Amino acid sequence: MGKTRLEAFSDGVIAILITIMVLEMKVPHGGTLETLLPVWPVFLSYILSFVYVGIYWNNHHHMLHTCRKVTGGILWANLHLLFWLSLIPFATGWVGENHFAPIPAALYGAVLLMAAIAYFILQQQIIATQGPDSLLKKAVGADWKGKLSPVVYATGMMLACWYPLVAMAMYVVMALIWLIPDRRIEKVLKNHEE
């Protein structure tokens, strides 16, 4: 099976997730700046979640460029990732509506943790399918960001019970780390083409 269908389906799901998140934001009643104050946590959580979904979409796109064929294992691993990403709108709404309360902040971290684990599983499934000459394996290398992310999310989940704003700050820092462009896959693909 080719990867075109997998890419199209994944892109569609991710686009729907972003749409759901923005539709969950309720317009405040009133035309003054003061009416925006109660919804600032919702807006901040939306921004963070939009960035995370964008990071996953971008990295997923690059990762699939290394994929030569799609197996059943890759399909299921991809669905597993999409499942956890599909929970981001719920976690975003809950943490925003409750002004970063401890349990919603912990759940937000749990969703991020599970999405990171699911992404790792998909990555490993692609590497296993490609065999010993896997382009993705060459590109990923030590993958310090991939190893750091679950640790940060799990730590944030635990801290959220007592210090939810610290946990949210940790999630923001991790998103900022992932925003730094990672050219590993592009370099490997360019070298492979040459």
Each residue's pLDDT tens digit, 115-164: 999 999 999 999 999 988 888 988 888 888 999 999 999 999 999 999 99
Positive/negative CA dihedral, 16, 22, 24, 27:
negative
pTM exceeding 0.75: yes
So what's the pLDDT on residue 99?
A: 93
Does the structure show a pLDDT above 80 at 194? no
> Which amino acid belongs to residue 158?
M
Burial of 160 (0-12, 13-18, 19+ CB in 10 A): buried
pLDDT tier at 29 (50, 70, 90 boundaries)?
Answer: confident
Please answer whether residues 119 and 150 qualify as being in contact, where contact means their C-beta atoms are separated by less than 8 angstroms: no
Give the pLDDT band (50/70/90) at residue 25: confident
